[in-house]
Structure 1
Amino acid sequence: MRIVIQRVTQASVEIEQQIKGQIGHGLLLLAGFTPEDTEEDLKWTAAKVAQLRIFNDTEGKMNLSVQDVQGDVLAISQFTLFASTRKGNRPSYIAAAPPAIAIPLYERFVQLLEQAVGRPIQTGEFGADMKVSLLNDGPVTISIDSKNRE
């Protein structure tokens, strides 16, 4: 599992000119999955996101988690995180999980994230043509791959 985390002051996802998910201060997550991802990958990543200290404390140091600041989370599925650009100019997505595998992984990740954060998570819609808007705070952008956790 690969995830891009962006600390935001606001973010939203629009599908067919309708807002599907919208948050204020918190995290925008772009999540991609492979066929090899396991429940352990999902649990580890959800816990890491919930506990990652990337919000400023009163002294301006990144020392607080999304839980600490009671921030919102918007999770968007994004298979292009597994794009391979080694050959040619057209990315290959063969490493990304196909929908039959990725959808259950994405849905389970959202459940685990809700448990880890302790509040509902806003989402996009898997496979939809989504328009994602955000105001990156900092800017702070971090990428995590569950296969590189050791």
Structure 2
Amino acid sequence: GNILKFQEFWQLFETNIHNKINLSDTEKINFLSTYLTGKAKQCIEGIPLVGENYSIAVQLLTERFGDKQNLISRHYRELTELQIARNYTSSLRDTLDTIEKHLRCLQAMGENISQLIFPTIIKSKFPNQIILEIEKSVDIGET
């Protein structure tokens, strides 16, 4: 049900279920309904789980969750709305991992992650003391 995970879900589903010619559309729509959760499951609720409706369900899901521009926007929003890390190693690591995940996803979708806005966003997610220490160590390394 998470738009950020739909692309991965759909690639797996497409490979293992959707493209299998030995499965009927009735079997496919039942598998689809079984594996969906949250908003994705709600998206196809009310559609009778019969073979004739499989292509309709797929179309609804891919239109709603598979829109690349919407997905890119969501990754940007997740980055900008990310909470500032606390001054604990685990919090700093989690924040860095989350930032890297979104940047990798954006890059995989063709976004230029070398834009000047990214360092500003990234710095804003860490305590000032940490940023100052990093900048100080970079300055020392350059002299």
- What TM-score, normalized to structure 1? 0.26
Q: Which has more radius of gyration?
A: 2
Larger strand percent: 1
Larger helix percent: 2
Larger RCO: 1 or 2 (CA < 8 Å, sep 6+): 1
